[in-house]
């Protein structure tokens, strides 16, 4: 049976470290403030936003909420972002995605000042990651690196397969594993012989958005399996992109869903907020 990689415990550990850090910064007169913008009232987004605000409260930074109506125009949103970019009291800006169809997501991401882009989505931060320069790193992949490191799993020299190539998870994930000296393969929907590719992995990271796509037949005996996917099944229970019951029987270590990668995303958002305070 695989060892369980406990994202709940590790994310709590990180938030406690950050709480201490913000207390120290406060004593030096440095305050944190994250602006959280939500356009429309998508229920999943509302839950994410609420959890982010709670995490801010926990670590001791202010969160300023902007709840905009569904029909908000792109110009209105851009204007708000411009105001927040120049507001010296705000050090992080987050626009909860997805935004409604009348708004171009890329334009919004590019409008956020890179030094306040705590989601790490701005092309300048993505470029910095690619070139090995300092910048904000996308929270979910950064969380996966922390999960591995804090579970004592070594990365250097290992064969890593990342399944998925999205801008927010797959691509930055692969770059981070490369930065940690893994030998990295990126697989996607056009990959041939996916099963064989995955079976080469010492560390298999799955971010495809397909419930239980990866079963034991994709996994090498003893491999580390990280499941980024989140889905709700017919019974409203959460599951991932990995078939946990089948894979956990022969993987070396595995993240559960829930309680694996999910809580790490918010912990790393808080990490980025504290970085933004100290710049």
Give the footprint of ligand NDP on this chain (CB under 6 A).
Answer: 140, 163-166, 168-170, 187-191, 194, 207-210, 213, 228-230, 241, 261-262, 265
Is-contact 139 120, C-beta < 8 A?
A: yes
Q: Which are the contacts of 278, defined by CB distance < 8 A and separation ≥ 6?
A: 25, 30
Taking the complex as a whole, the smallest distance from the CB of residue 215 to ligand NDP amounts, in Å, to 13
CB of 256 to ligand NDP, least distance (A): 12
Q: Which of 52, 158, 212, 220 is catalytic?
A: 52
Report the alpha-carbon angle 226-227-232, nearest 5.
165
**CA 93 to chain centroid:** 16
| Closest residue to ligand NDP using C-beta atoms | 166
Comparing CA positions, the residue from 219, 223, 240, 222 lying closest to residue 231 is: 240
Taking the least distance from each CB to ligand NDP, the nearer of 114 and 256 is 256
Cβ closest to ligand NDP, residue 8 vs residue 26: 8
- The tokens describing 157, both together, are 């020299």
User: Is the Cβ of residue 72 or residue 255 nearer to ligand NDP in the bound state?
Assistant: 255
Which is nearer to ligand NDP, 145 or 187 (by Cβ)?
187
| Least Å from the CB of residue 138 to ligand NDP | 9
Residue 230 is assigned to a ligand binding site: yes
Q: Which is nearer to ligand NDP, 15 or 165 (CB)?
A: 165
Query: Of all residues in the chain, what percent are helix, strand and coil, respectively (each to 5)?
Result: 45, 15, 40
Confirm whether 96 is a catalytic residue: yes
What is the closest distance, in whole angstroms, from the C-beta atom of residue 260 to ligand NDP in the complex? 8
Rounded Cα gap, residues 214 and 53, in angstroms: 33
Q: Which of 96, 115, 146, 275 is catalytic?
A: 96
Query: Of the listed 117, 119, 202, 243, which one is catalytic?
Result: 119
52 tagged catalytic: yes
Q: Flag whether 164 is marked binding.
A: yes
**Could you confirm whether 119 is annotated as catalytic?**
yes
CA 17 centroid distance within chain:
19
For residues 2 and 65, what is the distance between their CA atoms, to the nearest angstrom? 41
Question: What 3-state class would DSSP assign to 40?
Answer: coil
- The answer to whether 131 is a known ligand-binding residue is no
Cα gap 32→56, rounded to integer Å: 9
Looking up tokens 């017919």 gives 234
For the bound state, the minimum distance from the C-beta of residue 172 to ligand NDP, rounded and expressed in Å, comes to 10
Write out the catalytic residue numbers.
Answer: 52, 96, 119
Binding residues for NADP(+): 164-166, 230
């Amino acid at each position: 049976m695989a060892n369980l990689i406990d994202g709940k415990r590790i994310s709590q550990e990180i938030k406690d470290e950050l709480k201490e850090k913000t207390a120290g910064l406060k004593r030096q007169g440095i305050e944190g403030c994250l602006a959280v913008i939500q356009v429309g009232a998508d229920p999943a987004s509302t839950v994410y936003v609420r959890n982010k605000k709670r995490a801010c409260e926990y670590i001791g930074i202010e969160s300023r909420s902007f709840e905009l109506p569904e029909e908000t125009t792109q110009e209105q949103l851009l204007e708000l972002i411009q105001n927040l970019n120049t507001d010296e009291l705000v050090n992080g800006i987050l626009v909860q995605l997805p935004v409604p169809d009348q708004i171009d997501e890329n334009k919004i991401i590019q409008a956020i000042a890179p030094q306040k882009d705590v989601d790490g989505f701005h092309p300048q931060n993505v470029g910095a990651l690619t070139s090995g320069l300092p910048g904000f790193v996308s929270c979910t992949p950064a969380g996966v690196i922390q999960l591995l490191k804090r579970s004592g799993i070594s990365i250097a020299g290992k064969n890593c397969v990342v399944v998925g190539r999205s801008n927010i998870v797959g691509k930055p994930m692969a770059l981070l594993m490369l930065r940690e000296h893994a030998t990295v393969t990126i697989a996607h929907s056009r990959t041939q012989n996916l099963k064989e590719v995955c079976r080469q992995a010492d560390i298999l990271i799955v971010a495809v958005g397909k419930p239980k796509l990866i079963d034991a037949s994709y996994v090498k005996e003893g491999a580390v399996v990280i499941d980024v996917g989140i889905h709700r099944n017919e019974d409203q229970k959460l599951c991932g992109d990995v078939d946990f019951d089948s894979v956990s029987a022969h993987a070396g270590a595995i993240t559960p869903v829930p309680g694996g990668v999910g809580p790490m995303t918010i912990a790393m958002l808080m990490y980025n907020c504290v970085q933004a305070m100290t710049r």
